[in-house]
């Protein structure tokens, strides 16, 4: 009989491979930054150093900016503690003198998020199907070219993907129920909060409301539609409360938020569907086929979906 490595060993190997692929070339271009999104996102995060947590711009929710600010701030604090800079004034000039270390720190957050997503995918696969399927899915994500590439940027995408997978893991606990106590209201609260965290990172994570709602329907319909409606409300409140807790100035500065959310829709959605509502689907399918993974893995995914 073939003996497979222990689950912990597999996880370590997967994480190591994922980190290695995402860390290679992490400093490309520096100190020049050729991706304009990185400059805009880093500048907005560092603006909190002025003494206010209000970004005064809501093209994105603010949770990722807060995390990035804390992450890069830890790096700058280490510079200060190590004596690499001699004064606060010198510390403030680091970004303008040579931003290499700051961007490496910001990009490393995406590396960590990308590797964490691999672990979460494996956990989700084990919960939903079985260990071998979970390991295969994690391997595919660990080496997926698009995910590896985007893990080299100071951007929301990989971080948001991590939170989406974490939200699915929480939603699966609603659908499948807790092993020891059945389907509990606490699982609904946790799933709603997890979706709220993702939504507070990227507006388009709002579509997590669909699988969350369907999971609640499957979990509670045997107890009547009153129970379903009650838990839908509970999930909605948990999600909204988490969203506004992590992006509070959207509620405190609603006019600016509405202006920028509208601008986001014009930039992302209106422009994409200008040639037809479903025309971008073909571009996404092309990216999935050529860039995201590979034709054999897409084929295996389709076979697996049909089998499920």
Give the whole-angstrom CA distance, residue 136 versus residue 139: 5
pLDDT of residue 179: 42
pLDDT of residue 177: 62
Helix (H, G, I), strand (E, B) or coil at 178: strand
pLDDT, tens only, 127-169: 988 888 899 889 989 998 889 999 999 999 999 999 999 999 9
What is the DSSP-derived secondary structure letter of residue 184? -
pLDDT, tens only, 20-52: 999 999 999 999 999 889 999 999 999 998 888
pLDDT of residue 90: 80
pTM for the predicted model, two decimal places: 0.87
Q: Are 95 and 102 in contact (CB under 8 A)?
A: yes
Residue spans of the chain under pLDDT 70:
1-7, 177-183
Q: Is 73 exposed, middle or buried (0-12, 13-18, 19+ CB in 10 A)?
A: middle
Of 156, 164, 157, the C-alpha closest to 195 is: 164
């Amino acid at each position: 009989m073939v003996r497979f490595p222990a689950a912990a060993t597999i996880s370590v190997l997967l994480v190591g491979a994922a980190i290695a692929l995402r860390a290679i070339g992490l400093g490309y271009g520096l100190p020049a930054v050729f991706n304009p999104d990185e400059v805009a996102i880093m500048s907005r995060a560092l603006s909190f150093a002025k003494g206010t947590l209000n970004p005064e711009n809501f093209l994105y929710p603010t949770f990722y900016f807060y995390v990035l600010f804390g992450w890069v701030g830890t790096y700058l604090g280490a510079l200060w503690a190590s004596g690499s800079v001699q004064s606060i004034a010198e510390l403030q000039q680091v970004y303008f003198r040579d931003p290499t270390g700051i961007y490496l720190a910001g990009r490393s957050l995406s590396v960590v998020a990308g590797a964490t997503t691999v672990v979460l995918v494996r956990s989700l696969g084990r919960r939903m199907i079985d260990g071998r399927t979970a390991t295969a899915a994690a391997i595919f994500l660990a080496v997926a070219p698009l995910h590896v590439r985007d893990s080299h940027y100071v951007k929301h995408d990989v971080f948001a993907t991590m939170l989406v997978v974490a939200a699915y893991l929480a939603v699966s606990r609603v659908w499948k129920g807790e092993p020891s106590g059945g389907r509990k209201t606490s699982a609904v609260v946790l799933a709603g909060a997890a979706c709220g965290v993702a939504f507070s990172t990227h507006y388009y994570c709002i579509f997590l409301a669909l699988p969350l709602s369907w999971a609640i329907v499957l979990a509670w319909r045997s107890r009547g539609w009153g129970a379903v409606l009650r838990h839908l409300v509970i999930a909605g409140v948990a999600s909204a409360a988490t969203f506004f807790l992590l992006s509070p100035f959207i509620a405190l500065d609603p006019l600016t938020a509405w202006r920028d959310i509208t601008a986001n829709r014009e930039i992302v959605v209106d422009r994409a569907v200008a040639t037809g509502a479903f025309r971008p689907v073909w571009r996404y399918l092309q990216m999935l086929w050529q860039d995201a993974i590979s034709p054999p893995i897409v084929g295996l995914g389709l076979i697996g979906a049909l089998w499920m």
